[in-house]
Chain A
Amino acid sequence: MSKTEQPRIPVLDALSQHFKENAHMALRNKQLRHNMRTAMDSLITKRLVSMPDENERESLRELGNHVRARALSKLPELLEKLEANLTKRGVQVHWAETTEEANQIIFDIAKRRQAKLFIKGKSMVSEELNMNHFLKKQGIEALESDMGEYIIQLDYERPSHIIMPAIHKNAKQVGHLFENKLQTPYTDDVDTLIQTGRKVLRNKFFEADIGISGVNFAVAETGSLFLVENEGNGRMSTTVPPVHIAITGIEKVVENLRDTVPLVSLLTRSALGQAITTYVNLISGPRKANELDGPEEVHLVLLDNGRTQAFADAQLRQTLNCIRCGACMNHCPVYTRIGGQAYGTVYPGPIGKIISPHLMGLDKTEDLPIASTLCGACGEVCPVKIPIPELLRRLRKEDVRPPEEPLHYVKGQGARFSRKERTMWNIWKSMNTKPNLYRKFSYLATRLRFMTPNILAWSQNHSKAKPASYTLHELAKKHLGDKK
């Protein structure tokens, strides 16, 4: 890295849930602020250009929502069908309730194959498992092959965006990183940098014992794993090593192949403004006896990790519609300013604020639901119409619900419960339901405006907020009289 390094969220803190502290640090990083703004503006434009017709865009979103909602409405049934069809094709299906279980399943496969090197395509679920770290402790190296992920792995960081894990870095920063870590001459030419990275990774595909990937859509009807990518590394990781392990959350299942058409169209357009990705992979089993290519074994690990909790509640279930395009982040004014690492969770941005509480519990993510102005930009662009602001409000409710109250929809309910705050809202309620009290309060607030308390957090960025010297109630009464 360059000498003039900006404040940076420590590597280990990228999963620390210190949202406020991390955000504070990120805001002071001018380079990050600049990179994020430029990158997000470009993605916002590209999305619009790729879906210029508003009616068509909205119809497609509606369709995407229907497809996802239908899949979720039959989730248990579709998962069973998926397992049956995959098994028929020779794919070994594993179920993991927790991240520990998933890691153990993966490790058991590795042990059996005496694996020492994993090569990975992109997989957010593997981040959820903290898999690289787990494998490292077992003496197994897991090398990222997605260029963005490779860059951040070199820099001991975590992904800051679902689709573009290194979006917070620019070419200059990557140039210095490669210079230091790969001992290549400094350049900020993007093509040269990518070639450098590719050269390093090329042989690893052949050396690796196991290839890891995520899944974009698991198709129940055909037993196929649908995977989109632009770099070809996904195809290499899933076909070259003798074993391929795909990892996915249980919600990624869709009913049939046809359902993937609108979803992939929405995914690539919403994420990058692309009509389609360079590579679209449909994996339907290991290499057959008469085939030359492909792995000997294919595994699918289906992970729950809190997803059934979201599934159990009709409103919260909508969280699981997500197809991981990242459009909500690209449009979020909060994410744009602090970047993904500040969230201290695997999934950052608006979608992370509603997924993470299910995965980790509200007690570990208590600040996330309130880290939004509810401006609605995320909901407006979500390709499958997840009502993110509505779900944020719902989680806020669970966040302040008394922990002893019997309804526990989300793990860690009542993380932000405070008797004092509740009392304050009860006073506010009385004031606004008892007109005489309200009028007395507003009269006093305006007449005693010089005594308005100074809210420190507000006055950091604003002059002191002072009430007017009279109320509208008074003006209206004087002008309109007592007419009802």
Chain B
Amino acid sequence: MSDLFYDAAPNATRIAPPRPQPRKYPDKKPTHVYLFGTCVIDIMFPDAGFDAIRLLEREGITVHYPQEQGCCGQPAYSSGYIEQAKEVAKAQIALFENDWPVVIPSGSCAGMMRLHYKELFHDEPEVLAKVNALSERIYELGEFLLYVSKIQLKDQGQKTKIALHTSCAARREMNTHLHVRQLLDQLENVERIDHDHESECCGFGGTFSVKMADISGAMVLDKTKALKDTGVDQVVSADCGCLMNINGSLEKQNESLRGQHLATFLWLRTGGTHHE
């Protein structure tokens, strides 16, 4: 290999490290955090967001939920409507004034705010400065619980087998598939079973599932088959877009298997109960 490291790029010294440096996490657990709940959770899976709040509170953290929040802007960004995405992103950026971490119970929305906002505002230096600062404070829920809050989970549930599905954005942008695995592995009565083609997309892709319904359908059928083949009691995911897709398909197939959001799963396993 060493022979290959010649002056490949103009004026290059050595090749940059292959992967971004592992993220540096704060030493001290913060006392306040913001929760960015995401629009899918807000409307489709509110309990997941609420369970995230209670998990954070149990860690002794004060949670702030800006009522002005909406969508992160990802749907427009992915569909090519960049101006619309920018406006929506700007509205969210303005909500997190204090220097507290912003915890997001979704890998793909966290990826959007942490990584893609930079691309969105690359030619607006003033916003970009804000975005860069905000980016450092963005955490996916699982990542936050594991590395910032250093949560110790005490499993109070029955023995169970689960399969984990991670969204592609979580996997390839945030590395949260690893964090979530580590969190789940703290639960002693939970056996995690790997499924076939685990790293493969479930076929959601936002508007893709509607615009290319045929192909998306083939993908989600393969994904649900792989999940069913594990014989697990439950599917867990930290991304509600995927859950909408997977659960919707499972229900259509009259299967009893369902996916649950990580926050809900962790909350219920560790003695939490659901509200009225």
Contact = CB atoms under 8 A, between A and B. Distances in A.
Interface of A: 20, 23-24, 27, 33, 54-63, 66-67, 69-70, 73, 258-259, 261-262, 333-334, 337-338, 369-377, 379-380, 390, 393, 395-401, 422, 425-426, 428-429, 431-433, 435, 438-439, 442, 445-446, 455, 457-463, 465, 467-468, 470-477, 479-480, 483-484
Nearest to B15: A62
B81 A400 contact: yes
Contacts of B251: 462-463
Interface string B3-14: 011101110100
Given A337-B219, A479-B53, A480-B65, A442 B119 contact: no
B186 to A, nearest CB: 26
Interface in B34-68: 35, 37, 39, 41-47, 49-50, 53, 63-68
B213 A461 contact: yes
Query: B interface, by DSSP: helix, strand, loop or mixed?
Result: helix
Contacts of B77: 393
A477 to B, nearest CB: 6
A73 B12 CA distance: 14
Given A56-B1, A484-B66, A373 B208 contact: yes
A60 B245 CA distance: 37
A17 to B, nearest CB: 15
Nearest to A332: B201
Contacts of A397: 80-82
24 contacts: A20-B214, A23-B215, A55-B18, A67-B8, A334-B212, A338-B215, A376-B169, A393-B77, A397-B82, A428-B75, A431-B70, A435-B70, A446-B43, A455-B210, A457-B209, A462-B220, A468-B44, A468-B47, A471-B46, A472-B41, A473-B65, A475-B50, A480-B65, A484-B64
Contacts of B172: 375-377, 379-380
Contacts of B199: 377
Given A457-B213, A467-B43, A480-B65, A370 B49 contact: no
B83 to A, nearest CB: 8
Interface in B55-106: 63-71, 73, 75-82, 84, 87-88, 90-91
A472 B46 contact: yes
A254 B144 CA distance: 45
Contacts of B63: 480
Interface in B203-238: 203-222
B37 A460 contact: no
Interface of B: 1, 4-6, 8-10, 12, 15-16, 18-19, 35, 37, 39, 41-47, 49-50, 53, 63-71, 73, 75-82, 84, 87-88, 90-91, 119, 168-169, 171-173, 199-201, 203-222, 244-245, 248-249, 251-252, 275
B6 A439 contact: no
Contact of A438 (B49, B50, B70): B70
A477 B4 contact: no
A384 to B, nearest CB: 12
A442 B73 CA distance: 16
Given A27-B218, A432-B73, A435-B69, 10 more contacts: A27-B215, A55-B18, A371-B212, A374-B205, A432-B88, A433-B91, A472-B49, A475-B49, A475-B275, A480-B63
Contacts of A445: 43
A60 B90 CA distance: 38
Nearest to A461: B217
B73 to A, nearest CB: 7
B215 A393 contact: no
Contacts of A468: 43-47
A242 to B, nearest CB: 39
Given A62-B18, A433-B70, A483 B64 contact: yes
B43 A70 contact: no
B43 to A, nearest CB: 5
B214 A23 contact: yes
B49 A400 contact: no
Contact of B249 (A56, A338, A462): A462
Find the residue from A56, A58, A59, A442 having the highest chain B CB count within 10 A. Answer: A59
Given A70-B8, A262-B4, A422-B81, A457 B210 contact: yes
Contacts of A479: 50, 53
